[in-house]
Chains A and B, each alone.
Chain A
Amino acid sequence: MDVLGHLASGFGAALSPTNLMMAALGSLLGTLVGVLPGLGPTAAIAILFPLTTVLAPAPAIIMLAGIYYGAMYGGSTTAILLNIPGEVASVPTCLDGYPMAQQGRGGVALGISAIGSFFAGTLGVVALTFFAPFLADQALRFGPPEYFGLMVLAFTVIASLSGGSLVKGFAMAFLGYFISLIGLGPSTAEPRFTFNWGPLMGGVDLIALIVGLYAISEVFIGLEEERVAITQKIRNVFPRLADLREAFPAILRGTGIGFFLGLLPGCAPGVTVFMAYDVEKKLSKHPERFGKGAIEGVASPESANNATSSAGFIPLLALGIPASAPLAVLLGGLLVYGLQPGPLLFQKNPEFVWTVIASLYVGNVILLILNLPLIGMWVWLTRIPYGILGPVILLLAFIGAYSVRNSMFDVGVSFVCGAIGFFLRRHQWPLAPMLLAFILGPLLEKYLIQSLSMSGGNPLIFFQRGISLALIVAAALLLLTSLALVRYTRRRVKEETAEELAL
């Protein structure tokens, strides 16, 4: 296929005044909603989606993509300045971003996050441009055993997300997995823990859980602390040369990890950001700086996040498989306009696909231009008094929880999760392993059952296939290293500060 020719005509369309305006408007609105604490890309797209339905397909999807990118970036802003991740993918950004903000380096963290996002987003789109048709085929080689191996690999991350206590970490992972069991089983459709109560049949919704655990519990904590907004001045958003030098390898690695894992349908930014953060911590000569404001700890997951988001367009457009919740909402958007993603989309609607791809380039540039100078304004937004912001977040959180399935039950779930999250956070139980197990647990179960169905019950299937064998071996190695590293880090932290390590 003449990729460059297609791309050129795509740019021709993407740079038309209307489409350019839509990309800018989308980025702006997305950032605006994403910057509100607790609201992530999914909620932002869900809230803003009705606005785009009056447009023609191409500008509407361009605007939606802008909202998506903008909200991702906005989410980083609240993660860094307020320690509130709007989405799983922003959790690792909090770990080092917030300490940086507390040290008065919030501006630099935001700057490096914008630069890393731009770099990864653009590189991701370049790769998307050239590999999309080819990669649509490669993704097919991943069958259930390969996905099972991948899930095992992803699960080893729990060890390093557990903060001080492995016991607490695994207990939380178990709790997360337990909550994910509620509803109809993925393979058997057997009701589990539903107590014959209709609403529980559908299980606990991911968005309601996230909104509850992170946004609503945040409001409770804020009210309890009678929090006043951060008044620190953001002096300088442009990182120093030394900062850049330190962050650049992390940006590269984050981009690589985020992109290649993001190609796999089902591998959401929530997984890759943790892996990127972990790898960075493993490779660092000073892993003890992580969690205390290491610039690599911001740069790497932020880059991975955007690279995964860009890569996620490949399985979305080429196979019709959304890799994450916001992409699932985007998929809905495509279908509203009668464009069915799948291998045919590239052949049937090339002008549309390539206009969208070209607009992703444009969107990344717009986002960078918008964000570096406007960081001051976004910060100002986060400084709205808590008495106003708290109820607004609560309202938006409830709307977000409601909008996914149009269900009041989910609003109740988010409220309950808010109370649970508040309690857990007060007592230093780590939320991240819980969320990870909630997301990955059902997938692990599904791929296990599917693989065993394929092999007639023979577990050797995981070791007879090259890719799955490699993944499982990698998981075992990673688990051993991370256990050793966690033990080492904990000892070092105790030596240095005589305190328990908390993430």
Chain B
Amino acid sequence: MTWIRTVIVLVAALVLLSPLAAEAQDYPTKPIEIVVPFTPGGGTDLIARLLADYMGKKWGQPILVANKPGGGGIIGARAALKDSRPDGYTVLIDIHTTSSMHIGAWKTPQLTLADRKYAARIVRDPMVFAVKVDAQWKSFKELSDWVKAHPDQLIWSSVGPSGPSRYTAFDWFTQIGVDPSKTRMVITEGAADSLTKLAGGHVLLSIHSVAEAHALTTAGKIRLLAVLSPSRVKYLPDVLTAEEQGVMKGVRVQWWAAVAFPSATPDPIVKKWESAIAEMTKDPAFLAGADRINMNIDFLNAADMRAFVEKEVEGYTDMAGKIGIRR
């Protein structure tokens, strides 16, 4: 029976030695988990699945998407950044609400920028101002003038009390000189909930990202008056930017998604992701997938992403203080 003992020793040796062999150049040697801190079906989830598909084929390892929703995304983000091993096998899809907006809105945030290392940004999805398809306003300028005259008649829907819609609206109100507290804000559970209320005529205005508003726009239920972006978006060639219409200057709020790791993750692994994502965002098959979900792919490398987020944190801290929701 010595051969059994030999086999056992060999297997044990392999099991024990395998972590030593797993250097960055061999990475990945086992399945990777991508944590999405939201429910299936949202923009974050869809982009994670495209990413998993691409990287899975590229590296020949299964890449699993794990949805860990709750607590505005903070629970899943914590699980990925703080409660997992920093070995590169747990990846977080990090977005504005789990990073810059969260940090801006809390005096003692549960997660800070020091808790993460960015590999790259994948998506930048600008915000749009949407009204019902048969609404009286023909342009963003007309709507802004009407709101200036009747601030108390504007019923608009936001997602959560401190989500992108609220910050965008605040920016807009401040720039056109309307007191935000005079308007009527209806807080909804998400883009689908909010846009359904808009299409049903229960609210007059909704502010969402391009990808979120796209389906109902194409279906002819809602109309987009302006996009909040430095330039027009390729999916919406006919929608003017807010700046083109002379209503707002600059872009302080937008939807984005990036890939982040726990801060103790080895640099070579993060670098490997950075270059793989750079490649991915040029891949025609991936871009076709992104087109299907109307996601505006806009790559930003690790260093630029860091600077971008730091600037956002400043902006949101400032706005949250002015709105009175910083606590």
Contact = CB atoms under 8 A, between A and B. Distances in A.
B267 interface: no
B203 A454 contact: yes
Given A189-B160, A321-B192, A342-B215, A143 B74 contact: no
B32 to A, nearest CB: 15
Nearest to A465: B202
Given A335-B49, A340-B215, A454-B155, A189 B200 contact: no
Contact of B67 (A347, A406, A450): A406
Given A406-B67, A450-B187, A454-B186, A331 B218 contact: no
Interface stretch (A75-83, A160-168, A199-207): A199-207
Contacts of A453: 155, 184-187
**Residue of A203, A265, A331, A332 with most chain B CB atoms under a 10 A cut-off:** A332
B190 to A, nearest CB: 10
A203 B203 contact: no
B202 A144 contact: yes
B267 to A, nearest CB: 28
B40 interface: yes
B41 A332 contact: yes
A199 B189 contact: no
A140 B45 CA distance: 26
Nearest to B192: A320
Contact of A187 (B41, B187, B201): B187
Which of under 10, 10 to 19, 20 to 34, or 35 or more describes the interface residues of A?
Answer: 35 or more
Interface in A135-186: 139-144, 183-184, 186
Contact of A140 (B46, B49, B161, B196): B196
B70 A405 contact: yes
A446 interface: yes
Contacts of A265: 196
B191 to A, nearest CB: 10
Contact of A454 (B70, B75, B79, B184): B184
A223 interface: no
A64 B66 CA distance: 19
B68 A405 contact: yes
A319 B190 CA distance: 13
A143 B197 CA distance: 6
Contacts of A21: none
Nearest to B83: A198
B74 A201 contact: yes
B35 to A, nearest CB: 9
Contacts of B218: 344
A439 interface: no
Would you list the 8 A-B pairs with minimal beta carbon distance, nearest first? A202-B70, A332-B40, A143-B202, A140-B200, A201-B71, A343-B219, A342-B215, A453-B186
Interface of A: 139-144, 183-184, 186-189, 198-199, 201-203, 265, 319-321, 328, 331-332, 335-336, 338, 340, 342-344, 347, 405-407, 446, 449-450, 453-456
